[in-house]
Structure 1
Amino acid sequence: MSRGDKSAYTAKQKRQAKHIEESELDQGRSQEDAERIAWATVNKQDGGGLKKKHK
């Protein structure tokens, strides 16, 4: 089960996390570990959820 609210993430970030999760599952990781790794990777790449644009 995922931790936290994922609504702040963009559609692209959600797609990336799903793709990473599927890859981790193919490598034999548990569902929980695969999801954790996927979101940690997205967070590391993008610095977290949707960012507000500054003017």
Structure 2
Amino acid sequence: MPNAWSDKDERQYDHIRKSQRQRGKSESQAREIAARTVNQQRREEGRTPNSTTRGTGNPNTRLESRTRKELYNRAKELNIEGRSRMNKQELVAAIRGRQ
């Protein structure tokens, strides 16, 4: 857990991690989901220097549920050409075509 997290963030992280473990996720998956959730909450509350994510979104969510920026970052990982000119629906289609 990063040092920038408050006590509340750490409690939330532990609660989510334990919940994910009870749902059958591996320890590493549970830690990742918990950290992403806490960091997203911190971003939305304006408690981080970056107001937008640099990640690709939660891998357990549907592509349509992710932000355009998260889809763009995933397309970048997959080396999809023309991604900067694509809208959200086009990014979803391009990513699906590559997976």
Report the secondary structure of 2:4's partner residue.
coil
The one of 3, 10, 19 equivalent to 1:7 is: 3
The one of 14, 18, 43 equivalent to 1:22 is: 18
TM-score with structure 1 setting the length: 0.74
CA distance in 2, matches of 1:41, 1:11: 15
Q: Provide structure 1 residue ranges, at least 5 long, that are not aligned to the other structure.
A: none
Identity of aligned residues (%): 36
CA distance in 1, matches of 2:18, 2:31: 9
Q: CA RMSD in A?
A: 2.0
Number of equivalent positions: 46
Q: Provide structure 2 residue ranges, at least 5 long, that are not aligned to the other structure.
A: 49-99
| Distance apart, 1:6 and its partner CA | 1.0
Which residue of structure 2 aligns with residue 42 of structure 1? 38
Greater RCO (Cα-Cα under 8 Å, separation 6 or more)? 1
Question: Which amino acid in structure 2 is aligned with residue 22 of structure 1?
Answer: K
CA distance in 2, matches of 1:9, 1:43: 9
| Runs of 4+ deviating beyond 6 Å | none
CA distance in 2, matches of 1:24, 1:30: 8
